[in-house]
Amino acid sequence: MTAEEIIAFMTFSIVAAITPGPSNIMVTATGAAVGFWRGLPCLLGVGIGMASLMFSVAIGLGQILLSHKSITLVMNWLGAAFLLWLSWKIATADTTATTKEKRAIGFLDAALFQWINPKSWIVSTGAIGAYLHSSSHGLGFQAAIFALLFFLAAVPSLLVWLLFGASLERYLSDQATARIFNRIMGLLLAASTIFILA
């Protein structure tokens, strides 16, 4: 990739990672629930999960999966079911528990979620369609570069969401405020299933 292509891809990746979506809501809610440090595994899970999806789409696995409508349909329903379950968990989270007692969304859950997150698939297929060169370096090399660059762009973008959530933690010590926040975050996450099933 040329320097101009790297800048263009990084710009695309930053915009894709920082714009609102299910993963951003998940990272924000995690930061608000358990704070910055305990929210980092969730953030890293999103970044690694997305990078691994980007790599797989670039080497062709994504195209194979997306070419089978039944697999795409199953992935959409699994994604919607997971989001609704997560929405419920966030909306009904125990507001009496201390930050240390609350369970954070972990690295593995956040990483695996990227594989059923429609926004992740749209971003990956769009990026690969726009930036992959069939006549350039080997496919595996390009896929690894895309994955690495996306990860490097996603981490600071997701940090914004994690810091935003963590900054709300002190305001959520009041149980009534925490309940309202949890329900709003749960509803926003549940609403994102409309885009999966539309």
pLDDT, tens digit, for every residue of 85-99? Answer: 777 877 777 766 655
Closest CA to 132 of 64, 62, 57, 66: 57
Band of residue 197 on the pLDDT scale cut at 50, 70, 90:
low
d(CA 179, CA 92): 8
Task: Supply the pLDDT for residue 164.
Answer: 92
| Distance in angstroms between the alpha carbons of the first and the last residue of the chain | 36
How many residues make up the chain in this entry? 198
Per-residue pLDDT, 187: 82
List CB contacts of 193: < 8 A, sequence separation 6 or more. 79, 80, 83, 84
What is the distance between the alpha carbons of residues 4 and 27, in angstroms, rounded to a whole number?
31
The model carries a pTM of 0.76
Read off the pLDDT of residues 102-153 as tens digits, 9 standing for 90 and up. Answer: 677 899 999 998 988 878 888 888 788 777 776 556 778 888 999 999 999 9
Residue 157 is predicted with a pLDDT of: 94
- Predicted confidence at residue 134, as pLDDT, reads 63
